[in-house]
A = this chain, B = another copy of it.
């Protein structure tokens, strides 16, 4: 068996198990068993479990991030500010194209992203901001241009709120799909969820800032 074949079999098995059970709760014995290779193959081909995790994530990031970078640069080159929903919609196509790279690629990648952000404390956040910080900065700049009312701190928080929505939804997407199909008899796939996400995120990010007296009224005991 060629070097590439074995490495790919391992990564294919690893990513589906990682997405389903998380990184720490997936053992190398599960991975090598499902990939039908010897236990030692992971350490031989990748060096360590940690390196395998990075390789699995990088396989997708390498495809998605340059695409996003191009799109963001095009929008930044325009004269006028872009509508917020158009900025967010930039993510849709590059993400859905991962389904062509690999069956269920989009779902797998987003689930892995969710696991990476919640499992290993901050490792993925550091990795992405180190390797793809410039791409994310362009995205933040576009959001700021589309929401001139909001200061940088407000946008920071709202973008992380949105990241939480995406990452959590995808990490538990299997369970949510099952519930949605059982309760509402609707065919749920990744594309329909993204369709639902866009207006939600757009409205949330561009929401009016709450006035202090409003909040006091809301949380006041006398009300």
A interface residues with partner B (beta carbon < 8 Å): 20-22, 24-25, 85-86, 89, 92-93, 114, 117-119, 121-122, 125, 152-154, 156-158, 160-169, 171-172, 175-176, 179-180, 183-184, 186, 193, 195-210, 215, 218-219, 221
Q: How many copies does the complex hold?
A: 2
Residue of B at shortest CB range from A90? B218
A39 to B36 alpha-carbon distance, docked (Å): 39
- Residues of B near A21 (CB, < 8 A) are 121
The 5 closest A-B pairs by CB, nearest first: A164-B168, A203-B207, A204-B204, A89-B218, A153-B184
Q: Closest B-chain residue to A125, C-beta based? A: B175
- Across-interface contacts of A180 in B (CB, < 8 A): 153, 156-157
Q: A167, B164: Cβ atoms under 8 Å? A: yes
- 17 further A-B contacts with Cβ under 8 Å, apart from A93-B221, A121-B175, A164-B172, are A89-B218, A114-B118, A122-B175, A153-B180, A153-B186, A157-B196, A160-B176, A161-B165, A164-B169, A165-B165, A168-B168, A195-B215, A198-B210, A200-B205, A203-B203, A203-B206, A204-B204
Q: Are B122's CB and A219's CB within 8 A?
A: no
Chain A at the B interface: SS class = helix
Q: Give the Cβ gap from A174 to chain B, nearest Cβ, in Å.
A: 9
Contact A198 B183 (CB under 8 A): no
- By a CB distance below 8 angstroms, the chain B residues around A25 are 24
Q: Which residues does chain B contribute within 8 Å of A85, judged by CB atoms?
A: 218
Q: CA separation between A152 and B203, bound complex, in Å? A: 19
Contacts of A196 in B (CB 8 A): 154, 157-158, 161
Which B residues lie within 8 Å of A207 (CB)? Answer: 199-200, 202-204
Closest Cβ of chain B: how far from A186's Cβ, in Å? 6
Minimum distance in angstroms from A175 CB to a CB of chain B: 5
Nearest residue (CB) in B for A25 is B24
CA distance A190 to B170 in the complex (A): 25
- Chain B residues in 8 Å Cβ range of A163: 168
